[in-house]
Each structure stands twice: as structure tokens, then as C-alpha cells.
Amino acid sequence: MKASWLRLLVIFITFPILAFSQHTIKFASIAPEGSTWLNVMKEYDQAVSTATNGKVRFKIYAGGVMGDDKAVLRKIRLGQLHSAGFTGVGLGEIASEVRILDSPFLFRNYAEVDFILDKFYGKFADAFEQKGYVLLGWAEVGFVYVFSQKPIRSKADMEGVKMWMWEGDPVADATFKALEIAARPLSVVEVMTALQTGMIDGFYISPLAAIAMQWFTKANYMMELPLADACGAVVLSKEQFNTLPADFQQILLNEGRTYFKKLMKLSRDDNAKAIETLKQNGIQLIPAPAASVQKEFEEDGRKARRALTGTLYSQELLTEVENALGEYRKKAAVK
């Protein structure tokens, strides 16, 4: 009798543990603990857990402990991880057509970015799904700007700048070829040393990341005209997604759209604050150039985008995106 009671007690105590967290999603990010990125990710995890009665939880590996985008992708394919927040470089390894979002001088402001991300959400989600991943939400890095030791107000001013280029990034390669700059390809971890030794004296990065990486300490100027909007997203392996009941799948998708939109807004706020911090630390902002000069940069952007058709994305997709953006600008101009 006593033994039976003990068995029932053990079952009663352990049942909630067994019932909860039936599905653990192993997630990796290069974002450090305490960052806005990780804070919102934890809010998303809590929302999903609450909506599923604790049956779906994320196990978060922060601060790049699982490696860079390519290393994390390998671990997802091996089943060691299930989900991650990727930059455009990592996303391009899954579905190359998404790199159109990173292309140079495509967007002029965040309203244009939001319009294209919303309009083409389904198309890019389908592209990820065909490659075995589910798009949970966009999580961009934000606008990236050119930093340098001398002021850059025009394309001609870029001559002689020893510009960094992310090694192995076809978008960066096409961008600097269009700008007629012989950029130095280096991995992200090599940039600071290259700046310290004078191997490079120019780079592109978001304001927030410029502070986090301390690269800004090796620059004097930031060009206010953004080079590109660096996209990012959170994806989940379809294999892991398919282990979830349909209602849990929908919860992941619905909460993802909500929380990653929140993350986008907060990240943009962080970048705006970072610009003020850069100014306080001696970085001089070079105002956006005159319309004629900006037009020249945008033409080089179009040249770079066309150079990538047939390799990263189709001409059809490029035309569709550019036309949609053109129509949006016409309507915005009328308002």
C-alpha cells in the first residue's frame, strides 16, 4: 500500500515536468546577453511558452558561442541546433534571393524597407521553405553606413580609401566593383586588427555595431547616406517545425511576426541613439550629398544589383522589387 502511494506521489510530482517543455528549440545568435536583440528573443520565448502551456520553449545560445552564420547553419543541418537569427550573409546561404534586400542604395528610408518586407514576405517565406526552413520573422541589422578617416562626399572621394569588404560576400563584392573600389576582403574578426595596422582605413557597418565592435575608434567620419539596409531574420528548420502540432506551429508564426516587428523598431531606436553617441565621441557626420551625387550612387547600386542577377536572384524578382518600390515612392510623393 505504501509503495503504491509512493509511486503515485512520484507520478504526481514528475507529471508537470514531463508535460511541460515537450518541444525544446535550440536557438543560436551572435547577439550578446543583455542586448535588445536577446531581450526581445526572451520575450518571444516567454510568449510562446505561455501560449503553449509551457510545451514549447527555446534554449538560447547567445553571444556567438555556436559560431558565425555558416557554423550555425552546419549545426542546424546536423540537428545540433534548430533555429537562429541570421544576417543577410547567412540567409543567403539558405535562399540566395533574399540578398536582394541587402543590395546597395536600394532603400532611402525605413518606410520603404517596411513596405518591401511586408509586400514580399510570402515570397521569401516560400523560398526559405523550399530549402527546408520556416521564416519566423524579419530581424534586420539596420542601415549600414560608410565610416572613414577622411570625409567622403562623392564617389570621387572614395578613391584612395582602403575599404574593407566582408570576405566571401557576393553583394559586397558587386557593390565595390560598381563603385570602382578595390576593397580588401577580410573576415569580421580581422577588421579591428586591419584598422590598427593601417591595412584598411574605411569600413561599413551599422552605428550600433560600430560602437559594439569599437571600430568607430579608428574612424573620423560617417557618411549619412546609407550604403544599404542589412537584412536579418529568424528561421527555424522545417524538420523541427514539423514535429510540432499544427496549433503550436501557428503560435510560433503569429508570435514571431509580433515580436520581431517589435525588435525591428527597438533596433532602429538603438541605432538612432548610437549615432548620437558617435557624434559625442568625435565622429563627424557627412550630410547626404546633393541629389545629383546621390543619383550617381544609386546608379552604381543598380549596376551592382544587375551584376547579381542569375547568380543570387532572378531578373524577374529584381524588376518586381524595383517596380514596387518605384510605385511606392510615387504614392509617397503625392501625400
Q: Residues 189-204: pLDDT tens digits? A: 899 999 999 999 999 9
170 phi, psi to nearest 5 deg? -65, -30
CA torsion sign for 207, 210, 213, 217 is negative
Sequence letter at residue 231: C
The confidence score (pLDDT) of residue 185 equals 96
> E strand or H helix at 271, and its extent?
helix 246-280
H/E run at residue 44: helix 36-51
The per-residue pLDDT for 189 is: 84
- Mean pLDDT along residues 222-227: 96
- 237 and 296 co-located in one domain: no
**Please, are residues 165 and 204 in contact by the beta-carbon 8 Å criterion?**
no
DSSP string, 108-154: SSHHHHHHHHHHTHHHHHHHHHHTTEEEEEE---EEEEEEESS---S
Percent of the chain at pLDDT above 90?
84
E strand or H helix that includes residue 186: strand 184-186
Whether 250 and 289 share a structural domain: no
What would the mean pLDDT of 215-221 be, rounded to a whole number?
Answer: 97
174-187 pLDDT tens trace:
999 999 999 999 98
As a dihedral over the C-alpha atoms of residue 184, residue 96, residue 313, residue 305, rounded to 10 degrees, the angle is: -30
Across-strand partners of 148? 202, 221
| Statement: residue 57 has pLDDT above 60 | yes
Is there a single domain that holds both residue 225 and residue 319? yes
Is the domain of 185 the same as that of 112?
A: no
Q: What CATH number corresponds to the domain at position 315?
A: 3.40.190.170
pTM recorded for the entire structure: 0.88
Stretch 161-166: mean pLDDT: 95
Mean pLDDT of 15-24: 59
Model confidence at 92: pLDDT above 70 = yes
Residue position matching grid coordinates 536577446: 38
Which has more confidence, 1 or 238?
238
Residue 18 has pLDDT above 60, yes or no: no
Same domain, 152 and 63: no
Whole-number pLDDT of residue 21: 61
Name the one residue in this structure whose C-alpha cell is 510530482. Answer: 13
Is the domain of 134 the same as that of 156? no
Residue 260 is predicted with a pLDDT of 96
Q: Any bridge partners for residue 26, and if so which?
A: 59
Residue 32's pLDDT is 87
Do residues 136 and 156 both lie within one domain? no
Q: How far is Cα 113 from Cα 141, in angstroms, rounded to an integer? A: 12
Please answer whether residues 263 and 139 qualify as being in contact, where contact means their C-beta atoms are separated by less than 8 angstroms. yes
Q: Is the pLDDT of residue 285 over 90?
A: yes
Average pLDDT over residues 88-115: 96
Domain residues for 70? Answer: 2-140+230-274
Given this model, what pLDDT does residue 188 score? 86
Residue 305 DSSP class: H
pLDDT tier, 2 (very low <50, low <70, confident <90, very high otherwise): very low
Number of domains in the chain: 2
Please report, for residues 145, 252, 282, 301, the alpha-carbon distance to residue 175 in angstroms, rounded to integers and kept in the order given.
13, 36, 28, 7
